[in-house]
Structure 1
Amino acid sequence: MKRIFVFLFSVACIASAEAQLRLPSLFDNHMILQQQSPIPIWGWSHPSQDITIHVSWDTTTIKTKSDNTTYWSATLYTPPASNKPYTITIQAGGEQRVLQDVLVGEVWLCSGQSNMEWSMENSADGKQAMAQANDPAIRLFHVSKSAASFPQVHGEGTWRVCTPESVKYFSAVGYFFAKKLQQNLNIPVGLINASWGGTPAETWTPEEIINADATLKAAADKQGDDRPWCPSRPGVVFNAMINPIIPFRIAGTLWYQGESNTGTPETYKQLMEAMVASWRKEFLNEFPFYYVQIAPYADYGGEGGVLLREQQVKMLQIPNSGLVVISDLVENVKDIHPKFKKPVGERLANLALTDTYGKKDIASKSPLYKAMKIEKGKIRITFDHVPNGLISKGGEPTEFQIAGEDKKFYPAKAKIEGSSVIVSAKEVKNPTSVRFGWSNASMPNLFSKEGLPVPSFRTDN
């Protein structure tokens, strides 16, 4: 009997060693696929081998063939979103792989640095929510931290059904986004979390794009590469954490990053335009890009924080993008990580619900500086996104400054008139410009009546 057992064990080992049908880690049990979309699927097998794919939501047989490098690819077409679990069966020669418990819904990529990475366990509002996070319609895929000098293809990670245990170390911003989306749309939501604390945006952008632009390359060179906790060289995180999931079909991207680019704020908008354009090209999808403005923080050098926030407002020129302002969600301006992530995730969800999913009667956009007009020794500031007017919390509007032609700014008195603000100061008889919330740690008290804060701005340049 021992000889028979050894023989069978040896045969099993040989069969296992010769197994060639492989899939990226994204294609696994419990995954969520983007609804009503062409879904690229790919993998590796023996060279020049016929591949057949069967999906349980219809009777179509998808056929393809691996090339001489063993790579193969095909396209699936998904049905409308459903909580019904499906299977995907992939056959390659005598090998078969069956993906179980596959849902169809909305899939969002979460990326950035530490405030996106910040887990439910570490968030002030995450621990209580975590205990109730038994959400089988929410699925979580965490991309392991990794960097590489050249694009990688296999990637690492596992799809997990959302439970108190699986969500414990997952992005809190991502989870609260998904929770609100799932509650409002009543369909499955999948999250792919690819984030790494401390990484500048250059690491998430293909190296060749940065090297091809002298301005971006000069800014990237200033980053150095001496961070002991993360890399900062252009493209290295993109190569290892984003490239392996391309071109998986996603509904959109959530981005919370910028703190590590406050040393070179003047190039941030240009850098992000390049990064977003490259991602959309690689994913074959002009997906929405919703991002969080960095929070007030006192220990940035010079005006790096406020200048980067200004660049983030200008990033709204990127087509199909949206901005979340969180200047009111900070308890300690000496802490670069605001403790409460639920309102951040929910504000991102509100942007998606209005701009991607067409929901009405949801306030999702902060008021933005529109124009100024000089009126008899005062300046009137007007704003976009104030359908019902402005309010100030805790007294008159704060953090306004005003200057004349000499460019000397003085603290200003501000008065709300409907959807505009009148700004003046006795020291400035002939004003020419206004600044608002113009410091790294500024937490002004001006909001839309819907409760969304006005971000810092200046009328001069």
Structure 2
Amino acid sequence: MMRAAVRYTGRTVAVAAALLVTAAPALAAPRLDGLFGDHALVQRDQPLTVSGDAQPGETVLVNFGGSSAQATADRRGRFEARLPAMAAGGPYTLTVAAPSGALVVDDVMVGDLFLCSGQSNMEMSVSDAQSMIAAANAPVDPGLRLVTIQKATAVAPQERFAQQPRWQLAGPDSIPGFSAACFYMAQDLRRRSGVPVGAIHSSWGGSRISAWMSDPALRTGGLGADADLIALFARDPAAARQRALATWEEWWRDRTGDRDGAEPWQPGAALDWQPVPAITNFEGWGVPALATFNGMLWFQREVQVSAAQARGPAVLSLGRIDDADQSWVNGVAVGGSSLASELRVYALPPGTLRPGTNTVTVNVDDVYANGGMLGPAEAMQLTFADGSSVRLGDGWRYAVARPVPGAAPRTPWGDINGAGTLFNAMIAPLRSTRIAGIAWYQGESDTGLPGYDRRLTALIADWRQRFGTPQTAFAVAQLSAYGTPPATPSDSGWGIVRDAQRRVAAEDAHGGLAVTHDIGDFTDIHPGEKYQVGLRLARAMTAAMAGAASRAGPAIASAFAEGDGVRLRFEGVDGALHPRSAAVAIGFELCGAEAGSCRWASGRVQGSDVFLPGDGRPVTHVRYAFGDAPSTNLSDDALLPVGTFDVPVR
């Protein structure tokens, strides 16, 4: 007789008599992939694929909502059964039975399922945002289901999650710790549709978009070299590390013109060396020039090594470094990482050290907030094969690196800055899960990296192919305002990413854009106003689900010369546009073809148009809200703002 069926929560249930078979040895019951578990929600009007592991060759019978399907496990024990699409409703019970055992999943609803992903502004929880508003303290809603994917990384796509996610009903116990932007979006979509809604939250603060891209998406998005390197790392980590280190060194030489042997990581490099006051964030050293510094610093220390210690291998331990490092010993690259929480421990092969004076050099690249060599000092040491060691927690000197254009390369297996590392562990295990839409709030970590539009387009196409259809909605939260409000027109990494997000959404028949620059905080990269972000994402998602004819708010449609000025036409306007608290709209820039030619322009609002008077100088394109933290005042009757754009004048 087959073993008794079990739930994921451990409750034993009876097995239908029709499934009884002859006696067999005790075997493991089937396991399911993806997000199946008590209180789960599956997508309505889409076929339901149930896959997992069973005993090789055995027949697996699946039943859900009155429909059944069977599959035979292959030689690896993999099975996949497909059930017909169902209308919204529930709750239902999913049963999976095989000669080796059975399992039961209770309280499964059918409705609309949404995936929310990105970096820290998607990750910010309800309790860390506007936790006192009524929407954050809603009673339990059995029709709204929430699940968070635990953080994990992998260098190859995984078949299942490292930790099985657990669904929860939305309520006082589950809402506070859930993604604020995702929850408020899902809550509003539930109210709009009246059907059960599920929200999957899978994000990681500080992550680049490349970490969320599959191998095919990386190649389509212009990151084929990173895809090749992480594939090499999966086969031969040592060879991949050496190639990555060489790539970083070549990047430095290309941008600085330093010749071989004259780079800053060489012993005796003639930099403006100063003693390191403490192993801690350099912003806290009391050095005025470093109080708010973001960029690169060089650290260096000499170490005395005996002949016996130099003969064998050794281990270099540098503690934690924020954000990224590249490290050398005697001018030879030995390792690097871009994960601030990771202890840097680098193996030194025989021949790296020499008797007498040895030089350890570390490049620290701080791209956000505090940075430096964090230690702790007692964890910093050079350990030799004979068991002896030298402490490295003091005696360092530092120098500010010369400015280098562009972002430094990161190792593609470097977790949140890698290539595919988060996709492999936090997205790929969703496998054939069908969804109604995707909400994306990311881009801060990609400022300064050209080609964001190409990468985002590739990710959208890939995720749709995996989890939905070509019509699956994709709503993007345009980056908020952060940084110094501009006093004069200037190029902005945040403005470039915002405009890339706008263009990708505008060119996508099922894309939507939620503008957020008006509810940002120029002193905080994590503004707390996530309720409005969620509502705007819900509006953008609804428009994207409806198709190209719908727009989620006022969006630039065209710019053309008119008389001595430029007329801007907007679509998606609710009522009319209005300059708030002023007679004219601000935040516009008239720009010529030459760099540095942009200048402020005031707009006269006329219904859904804005006219920018000319100033007698050439105009080839118009920018709006383009600074890191722009000051603007243009919105429609629904108080929805116009988002960042840079468009040519026809």
TM-score (norm 2): 0.63
Q: What SS is found at the alignment partner of 1:398?
A: strand
CA distance in 2, matches of 1:50, 1:404: 69
Maintained 8 Å contact 1:28/1:99? yes
Aligned position for 2:607: 418
Structure 1: which amino acid aligns with 2:604?
Answer: K
Deviation, 1:128, is 4.6
Aligned-pair distance for 1:28? Answer: 0.9
Q: What is the letter of the counterpart of residue 51 of structure 1? A: V
Aligned partner of residue 167 in structure 1, secondary structure:
coil
Q: CA deviation at 1:368?
A: 2.1
1:322 is the counterpart of 2:478:
no
Distance in 2, Cα, partners of 1:16 & 1:199: 47
- Candidates 123, 143, 146, aligned match of 1:140: 146
> Which residue of the partner structure matches residue 47 of structure 2?
38
CA contact (8 A) 1:24 1:244 kept: yes
Mapped partners of 2:222, 2:110: distance in 1: 43
Query: Corresponding residue for 1:9?
Result: none
Q: CA shift at 1:77, angstroms? A: 2.1
Q: Given the alignment of the two structures, is residue 384 of structure 1 paired with residue 571 of structure 2, yes or no?
A: yes
User: Quick one: distance in 2 between partners of 1:282 and 1:203?
Assistant: 17
Q: CA deviation at 1:153?
A: 1.1
CA deviations 1:227-267 (Å, max 9, x no partner) are: 31553110010000001011111111111111110021x30
**What CA distance in whole angstroms lies between the structure 2 residues aligned with 1:17 and 1:329?**
59
Matched residues in 2 for 1:94 and 1:413: separation?
A: 73
The one-letter code of the counterpart of 1:344 is: V
- Distance apart, 1:411 and its partner CA: 2.4
> What residue number does 1:274 align with?
458
Q: What is the distance in 1 between the residues matched to 2:647 and 2:220? A: 33
* Counterpart among 178, 181, 190 of residue 189 in structure 2: 181
Does the alignment pair 1:244 with 2:429? Answer: yes
User: For 2:75 and 2:620, how far apart are their aligned partners in 1?
Assistant: 68
State which drifts further: 131-140 or 169-178: 131-140
Match of 1:375 in 2: 562
- What secondary structure is seen at the aligned counterpart in 2 of 1:240? helix
Q: Residue by residue, what CA displacement relative to the aligned partner does 1:314-362 show, whole Å, maximum 9, x if unpaired?
A: 10223421111112212x212111211111111121233344269x9xx
TM-fit CA distance, 1:420: 1.2
CA contact (8 A) 1:404 1:428 kept: no
Find 1:446's aligned residue among 631, 634, 639: 634
After TM superposition, give the deviation of residue 62 of structure 1 in Å: 1.3
Asked if the contact 2:28/2:100 (under 8 Å) is kept, the reply is no
| TM-score for the superposition, normalised by structure 1 | 0.87
8 A Cα contact 2:502 2:644, kept in partner:
no
Q: Which residue of 1 aligns with 2:155?
A: 149
Partner of 2:263: none
Alignment-mate amino acid for residue 198 of structure 2:
G
Rate the CA distance shift 1:218–1:160 in 2: closer, same or farther, 3 A. Answer: closer
Structure 1 runs not aligned, ≥5 long? 1-11
Match for 1:153: what amino acid?
A: E
Which of these residues, 288, 306, 318, is aligned with residue 473 of structure 2? 288
What is the CA distance between 1:446 and its match in structure 2? Answer: 0.8
Which residue in 2 is equivalent to 1:402? 590
Offset at 1:458?
Answer: 2.8
Alignment-derived partner of residue 4 in structure 1: none
* Candidates 66, 72, 75, aligned match of 1:68: 75
Residues in 1 aligned to 2:604 and 2:626: alpha-carbon distance in whole angstroms = 18
- 8 Å CA contact 2:587, 2:632 repeated in 1: yes
Please tell me the root mean square deviation across aligned C-alpha atoms, in Å. 2.9
CA distance in 2, matches of 1:333, 1:271: 26
* 1:233 is aligned to 2:423: no
Aligned to 1:6: none
Q: How many Å separate the matches in 2 of 1:128 and 1:177? A: 15
2:99 to 93, 99, 108: 93
Query: Which one is further off, 238-247 or 15-24?
Result: 15-24
Aligned identity (percent) is 30
Measured in 1, the distance between the counterparts of 2:58 and 2:141 equals: 39
Counterpart secondary structure, 2:151:
coil
Find the counterpart in structure 2 of residue 197 from structure 1: 205
**Which whole-Å CA distance do the structure 2 matches of 1:458 and 1:364 have between them?**
19
Match of 2:56 in 1: 47
| Alpha-carbon spacing, 1:187–1:17, altered in 2? closer, same or farther (3 Å) | same
The aligned counterpart of 2:111 is 105
Counterpart of 2:79, as a letter, is W
Counterpart pick for 1:21 among 23, 26, 30: 30
Describe the shift of the 1:346–1:150 C-alpha distance in structure 2 as closer, same or farther (beyond 3 A).
same
Q: Is the 8 A contact 2:474 2:544 kept in 1?
A: no
The alpha-carbon deviation at position 36 of structure 1 amounts to 2.2
Equivalent position of 2:367 in the other structure:
none
Q: 1:376 to 1:319 in 2, by over 3 A?
A: closer
Q: CA deviation at 1:48?
A: 0.4
Q: Distance in 2 between matches of 1:308 and 1:356?
A: 24
Please give the alpha-carbon distance, in whole angstroms, between the structure 2 residues aligned to 1:274 and 1:413: 37
